[in-house]
Structure 1
Amino acid sequence: MSSSKQHLIDLTVDTLERCSSFKHGTSCKTILYRLRKEHGLNIRQWKRIYALVMQTRKYASLLQETLNMLPETLRNSLYSSFRRWFLWLFLYDLLLGKNEIQSVMNQKEVLFSPENIALLRRCLESAQKRIPLTAQPCWQAENIYVYGRVNYVSSSLESVISNLEQSGYRRKRAKRKRGMGSNEFWLDCVVSGLLVFPRHSKIAQHSLVRHQRALVIQDKSSCFVAQGFDAPLGWTIVDACAAPGNKSMHLISRGIEQYGESFYQHPIRVIAIDRDKERFALMHRTIHEHGYDAFIETRNVDFLKWSCDDCQGIILDPSCSGSGLLNRNWTDDLEENLQEKESQRTRLKHLSNFQKKMLRHALCDFANCCRVTYSTCSIYKEENEMVVYEVLNQVQGLGWKLVDFLPQWPRRGWKDPLDSEQAAFCVRTDPKLDHTNGFFVACFERTLHERNIRQSYE
């Protein structure tokens, strides 16, 4: 192996180890974004490391389960011969990837003989069968689809469908759970302007996505916020934790879809906020590339230290455990076991306290705001219903109440601590049943009369 390739592998292993050293408020993606600047990597090198890191983390627990099935002697030999994350990186590449880095194992050929590789593959197959569907990575969850949202700033549903059909895609009037061809799609029945593709579709490589920006890849559950927000014309909406910008763009796109030409006379405007400089830069570039500059103002500020009296609505999707994202479930559970620095309960408590602080700020410190959505990609009650319950009790004197959000969606919030009516107002998704990531949304509203309560309350 050339020295440059060896250097990239070393950087990949170092990055995996840094990502596994969990620090509250620092994500793996943040570490990866910093990596390129620190080591002067070109875009091709950085993308290769990015892919290896994310894929190895995604399948780390599956690989751990595979190793646990090996004979004890072989398993102990592997652990004693390699750094933990180097071993998982190599096993990912050997068993699930492109087998590009095996040459670094020349000195360990006895451990990776054809017989042992065959044994590893058999153990991998057994490990896959033991994993329940909702705990499997995305490549095992065949019922999780790929979603493409029409960008109404630059295109229309009819134009996108026509373009797809001209390039060989076929629209299906009724979805089938199995046997879907990679070039087939159908329209979602809940989120308007959302096209659904089978998991193995190559739609992300299509020119509509990569060059024309007429179709935006966005998970269905993430589209619920803008779909149900229904902002009136002329409103200013703050996206409090906006990066990478999908919800901000969807709010505008949804407005154009709803109001047509009237939208341009009294447009909805969005102030998209993110405090992290690198995530902000990515968001700003994404919004520009998709043509939303005229409707979305980006600000690199900390939402907790900022306020605005001119906004009528806020969408809040704060940092969370990400436990609803299938491609993170394995790694999150694994890191809890490996690091033993803090229990899941302690981590959830930290996150929940932060989420409550953000939600209180949104409900208490924006004088003319009358609609706030709170959402997470978490499955845990501590980050969802409990946050809503505690904050709602604290701000009822300001006139806020929960309202029914996306009433046509069948899966609702959990009772305890919420009462039956409050729970029924909230939205949840189940990856196993809904073909999308796990998600939660609650919507708070107050009337103009109720907003005046705030002045006397103070």
Structure 2
Amino acid sequence: MQENGFKHSVKVPRLYKIAAKIVQQVREEGASIKHLVYQAKHPNYPAILALVTQTLQNGKHLDYILRKSKILMNEARFDPWLARILITELLWGKKRLAGDAKPIQTILSYETKLKSILDKLIESKEIIKPKKVTKPRYVRINTLVMTVADAINGFRDEGWIFVRNNHTVYEDFLQMIRTLEENQFTTDLHVPDLLVFPQGTNFYTHPCYQDGSIILQDKASCIPALLLNPTPNSVVLDMCAAPGMKTSQLAAAMNNEGLVYAVEKDQRRFQSLTQIMETVGATCVKTVNRDVLTLSDKEFPDVEYILLDPSCTGSGMTDRLMYDDNTDEQRNAERIEKLAGFQKKILYHALKNFPKVKRIVYSTCSIYPEENEMIVKKVMENCKNFKLKNARKGLKTKWINSMNNENDGEYKKILKRCIYAKPEVDLTNGFFVAVFERITPKEENKMEVESE
């Protein structure tokens, strides 16, 4: 069957279809690129990863090109995510498309127009170059099944050279991991079960990744569970648990002794969360497929610790969109306002509905103040049973709290008690962490006067 000269029997290459689906999930759900690419199990992992990353990096330009070319308006049945993938391949990737599939032929019929729009965009100097953020590969050891010492010895046996970390000054440590050679690795300065490898090291096919002995988790993502610091035999509530890396870290911190409620509302993400907990051997975790705002102390009694890492813009994730903050396509005021409303609501729920909770850690993978210090300030103004602790005191060495927002003056006291991870400085994803602790009956909320 043919229509307008196109052969409908010819399918789009699977690589393009998979890449389109991944881009959609990253943009709409804030999912992890590398996790999705790995889950796709396509034999050409590097090609899909490169194409997806390139498509996301050029997201703002693609939106502009699609509007100016009117492809989606003229071709109403064209999948917009596939269109982005194919245009990326034509303009920034291989810079050529081949095949008789209708979507490919459609893009090729617009080739001259697409290239003309891009040329004019470049000439106008409105082209936005993504930031280049170089950060190492972080590997957390699953201490439920392996000690850090055994992991180090195992990597040594594979030919890796272990560089002993004797640094006590954060800046010196950062310089060391910046200059790791391709066959070297070391231990982290703040997270005791975290190893640091050179940028780009691929562990997705490593046997220890496959069996859950190692977990590929960015350093900044490890800090919330580290600061929550639940003791063995305690009861923990992970309010937004999927995909489960922080949940498994909590289980390891507790030596699988106690109970971790891991809550996820979305059915697909819940199933993935449950599977991951089984893979890593987190037997103290009970997965819960519920809307966390419906949870109460009656159904989940004796909760002592709460980890809250809610949905956010993901503006700190260096493998998603790497534009300057003011031009980032994620920085949509309406979207941020909607997310901030949810974040504030769920944090209030955590603070007010679990009377035995003594510590709550709130974190986001965002660098936007609307999702971070602004949320903390609004909540602290209306919740007098908790104080804001100095999160940096929970780390064994200092942290460069380098975030400088235009709101620093108004939020200075809050920012001094919270942790911001900044990609260019800390060599991690962008992250924000705040620690709340319940005050004693005789204690006042001392956020405004507590010593630094």
Instruction: Quickly name the TM-score band, shorter chain normalised.
Output: 0.7 to 0.9
Q: Kindly indicate whether the alpha-carbon contact (under 8 Å) linking 2:236 and 2:306 is maintained by their aligned counterparts in 1.
A: yes
Contact 1:61/1:330 (<8 A) preserved: no
Which shifted more, 80-89 or 435-444? 80-89
2:253 counterpart residue number = 254
Letter in 2 for 1:315: L
- Among 415, 425, 428, which residue is 1:433 paired with? 425
Q: Could you say if the C-alpha distance between residues 312 and 53 of structure 1 is closer, same or farther in structure 2, counting changes exceeding 3 Å?
A: farther
**What CA deviation, in whole Å up to 9, does each residue of 1:264-317 have, x standing for no partner?**
7xx242111111111110000001001112x11111111100123311010101
Asked whether the 8 Å contact 2:388–2:434 carries over to 1, the reply is: yes
Shift of 1:200: 2.0
* Equivalent residue number for residue 261 of structure 1: none
Secondary structure at 2:360 match in 1: strand
Q: Matched residue of 2:320: which SS?
A: helix
Identical columns (%)? 26
CA distance in 2, matches of 1:79, 1:306: 43
With 162-171 and 357-366 compared, the bigger mean Cα shift is at 162-171
Task: Work out whether residues 186 and 196 of structure 1, in 8 Å CA contact, stay in contact via their aligned partners in 2.
Answer: yes
Supply the AA of the counterpart residue of 1:410: I
1:313 paired to 2:287: no
- Aligned ranges 1:19-418 → 2 under 5 Å: 27=29, 29=31, 44=42, 54-55=52-53, 57-61=55-59, 64=62, 85-86=81-82, 88-93=84-89, 102-104=98-100, 135-136=130-131, 140-141=132-133, 143-173=134-164, 176=176, 180-210=180-210, 212-256=211-255, 267-293=257-283, 295-307=284-296, 308-330=300-322, 336=329, 344-396=332-384, 399-407=385-393, 408-411=398-401, 416=408
Cα distance in 1 for residues equivalent to 2:347 and 2:387: 13
Supply the distance in 2 between the matched residues of 1:187 and 1:15 (Cα, whole angstroms): 36
Q: Which amino acid aligns with 1:303?
A: V
> 1:62 & 1:200 partners in 2: Cα distance?
25
* Deviation string, structure 1 residues 327-348 (Cα, Å, up to 9, x no partner): 22259988959xxxxx822221
Distance 1:47 1:146, change over 3 A: closer
Deviation at 1:324, TM superposition (A): 0.8
Paired position in structure 1 for 2:3: none
Asked if the contact 1:389/1:418 (under 8 Å) is kept, the reply is no
Deviation at 1:350, TM superposition (A): 1.2
Decide whether the 8 Å contact of 1:192 with 1:227 is kept in 2.
no
Gap change, CA 1:363 and 1:90, over 3 Å in 2: same
Look up the SS of the partner of 2:313 in the other structure.
coil
Does the CA-based 8 Å contact 1:62-1:330 persist in structure 2?
A: no
How far off its partner does 1:367 sit?
Answer: 1.3
Q: Does the 8 Å contact 1:386/1:417 carry over to 2?
A: no
Where do 5+ consecutive residues of structure 1 fail to align? Answer: 35-40, 69-74, 257-263, 338-342, 454-458
> Which amino acid in 2 is paired with 1:246?
M
Instruction: Report SS of the residue matched to 1:204.
Output: coil
Distance 1:374 1:326, change over 3 A: same
Show the counterpart of 2:437: 445
Question: What do you get for the CA RMSD once the two structures are aligned?
Answer: 4.6
State how many pairs are aligned: 407
Task: Report the CA distance between 1:5 and its aligned residue.
Answer: 3.8
Shift of 1:152: 0.3
Q: Contact 1:378 / 1:438 at 8 angstroms: preserved in 2?
A: yes
CA contact (8 A) 1:323 1:380 kept: yes
Instruction: Give the alignment's TM-score, normalised by structure 1.
Output: 0.73
Following the alignment from structure 1 to structure 2, what is the Cα–Cα distance between the partners of residues 392 and 165? 48
Deviations 1:132-166 (A, max 9, x none): 6xx43xxx42x212100010000011111111111
Report the CA distance shift for 1:177/1:47 in structure 2 as closer, same or farther (over 3 A).
closer
Equivalent AA in structure 2 for residue 386 of structure 1? M
When normalised by structure 2's length, the TM-score is: 0.74
Relative to structure 1, is the Cα distance of residues 19 and 248 closer, same or farther in structure 2, using a 3 angstrom cutoff? closer
Q: 1:301 to 1:289 in 2, by over 3 A?
A: same
The letter of the residue matching 1:194 is L
